[in-house]
Amino acid sequence: MLSSLSISAPLEIKRINPLENREVEQLTQERLEELWKQLAEKYKDDEKFHSLIADKQVELKNNNLFNIKVPNIYYDKLFHNYQEPILTFMHEATSNEALSYKVVVQVEQHEAKIYLPREKFDAMASRNSSMYSLRKLFPDIDF
């Protein structure tokens, strides 16, 4: 019994240079920010991914690690889902296969509200130390 076999055009094989022969780019903060914008531009059709990375700040820690600053811990899981496209893009752009990222939660410090007279005085005295001498001169006045 004969069977037929169809052979289509051979696939084009992309040649990969050995790691020893690759020219690894020395990454700078400016270059990292530029690559991050290119990544956001590349994935602008993927609405979820684009909105996730478009407004995030990146900070270079060393040549093999950068931080992605996020407002809360929830983003860590979201970035984990998109780890492969982020790292693939960065590896191809820099030829640095050791490049990785870490999601860092950036907590904003809010200034405490001042309500009580003692808190108001302490706040004024921290800006102007002569308030203590005024208080000694006028002990009956509540600042």
What does pTM read for this prediction? 0.60
**Residues 58 and 70: beta-carbon distance below 8 Å:** no
Instruction: Go through the domains of the chain in sequence order and give each one's CATH number.
Output: 24-105 (3.30.300.180), 111-143 (no CATH)
Q: Say how far apart CA 113 and CA 111 lie, in whole Å.
A: 6
pLDDT tens-digit profile of 46-77? 999 999 999 999 999 988 899 999 988 888 89
Q: What is the mean pLDDT of residues 97-103?
A: 91
Mean pLDDT of the chain: 82
Q: Kindly report the CA angle at 18 between 26 and 24, in degrees rounded to 5?
A: 5
